Amino acid sequence: MLKRLVEPHAAAAEVAIGAAAYPAPFAPGLEFNAPVHGAWNIVHTGMLLPESIQIYVCAANCMRGVVLTAAEMNAADRFSHVILRERDLLDGTAEQTTIEGVSDVLQKRGRLPRAVLLFTVCLHHFLGCDLNHIYRELERRFPTVAFLRCYMDPILQKTGLTPEQKLRKALYDPLQPRPAQPNVTALLGSDFALDADGDIPQMLARNGAALRQLPDCRTFDDYLSMGEAGLLLAVCPAAKYGAEMLSQRLDRPLLYLPASFSYAELTEQRRALCAALHIPFVSPDVEIADCEAALDAAGREIGQTPVHIDYTAHPRPMGLARLLLAHGFRVERVFLERVSPEEAEDFRALQRTAPSLCLTSTVRPEARVRARGSTEKTLAIGQKAAWFADTPHFVNLVGGGGLHGFSGVKRMAALLLDAYRTEQDTRDIVPRKGLGCESCI
């Protein structure tokens, strides 16, 4: 007889921020996966490395998602897999199967890639495989190929480094130190290139400095040229660990300038960047005034339309909610699972100033049967918020989308107005994997 493991009731999946626990407002347990797939996964991110291929070594039942991701983004020619079978577990042959399987893939390709993102998985951990031996042997057999140590081990998702953090570290492991060029700056670990008219690119351009970032690289040699950067930057939280490791290895200064909606934080980031570039600091008073004007204009038109925000749109959903509420927007709900330590101050501030703001889980099993839609026109920021609100008015953004700095605040105001004025086909858009990637769907 089937027995319901969790009795669905909304209280377990949502809570007013005034009563929410930090940093985890919701109890862990069974999880629901909403049919929203615009956020990038490890396959999408790995494809940023030019002239590379990905090889996953895994049991067949776990391979479906990554295979489909590669196929859906028209990159199946850069994706291969090696299947581990039960006998590899019982006979202790998983290491040899991995080595011979990867060798077979490469030998059959004819022309070797410049780099291989080799993903080992949970089974390798369970079996205690000697991963160092695997990589040493593959490097001996294929000395012209850079093998990147990547992991698809979701069993470790909630402890230690995530697969995304590990991948963003591995992506820069092949970089070798070159003579540092003071007029070259490298941005590390971002899925999206910074907007060309953004604060950082414009500041660098005005001072004769070049910005190199992986999404702009077209060849492996373009990528290797990032090793001559005199200054390293990171703006994506998941990239911080890998950027710190590269900074130590190359002995280059690093600035971590996370995307933010706080004018004070953005001002200090500008001050730090100016100091690192040895250029005079220019007060952002004009930019702040422009941001205020843009937000006020958007607020007047959008009025008291309910606004829902989700964590997949931007790494700072709490900060965005705080900014919009301060400008009179009717922010009713933020979808998230945990509160980032970087948003602790915003969380505490919202507890004081907007205690009725609703925090809602997207993965609690209750979300599966939660009523969707509203009798009111709703404006969503992010694909998950759009799906749960069942609204055609949404900002179609994932991972920050390259927005950063004061220009990012202004751009967000413009995106809100555009979403408010224009309807989109939510049910067609949000199931598509990897927003911004080529799609064959």
DSSP string, 299-323: HHHHTT-EEEEETTT-S-HHHHHHH
Bridge partners, residue 181, by sequence: 229
**What are the backbone angles phi and psi of residue 121, rounded to the nearest 5°?**
-135, -170
C-alpha closest to that of 239 among 261, 218, 256, 220: 256
Half-sphere exposure of 225 (CA within 13 A, CB side): 16
Contact by Cβ (8 Å): 313, 381? yes
Which tokens is 192 given?
């999206």
Longest CA pairwise span in the chain (Å): 72
Distances (CA, A) of 108 to 59, 67, 105, 113, 257: 21, 19, 5, 12, 43
CA of 284: how far to CAs of 84, 269, 344, 373, in Å? 56, 11, 25, 40
Which pLDDT does position 2 carry in this prediction?
58
- Return the closest-CA partner of residue 360 out of 352, 370, 348: 370
- Predicted confidence at residue 220, as pLDDT, reads 98
Binned average pLDDT, 10 residues per bin, the chain of 441 residues: 53 91 93 94 96 94 88 94 89 92 95 96 83 96 97 73 93 96 96 94 94 97 97 97 98 97 98 96 96 98 98 98 98 97 98 98 91 90 97 97 97 98 96 89 71
C-alpha–C-alpha distance, residues 16 and 116, integer Å: 46
* Reported pTM: 0.93
* Nearest-angstrom CA–CA distance, 208 and 45: 29
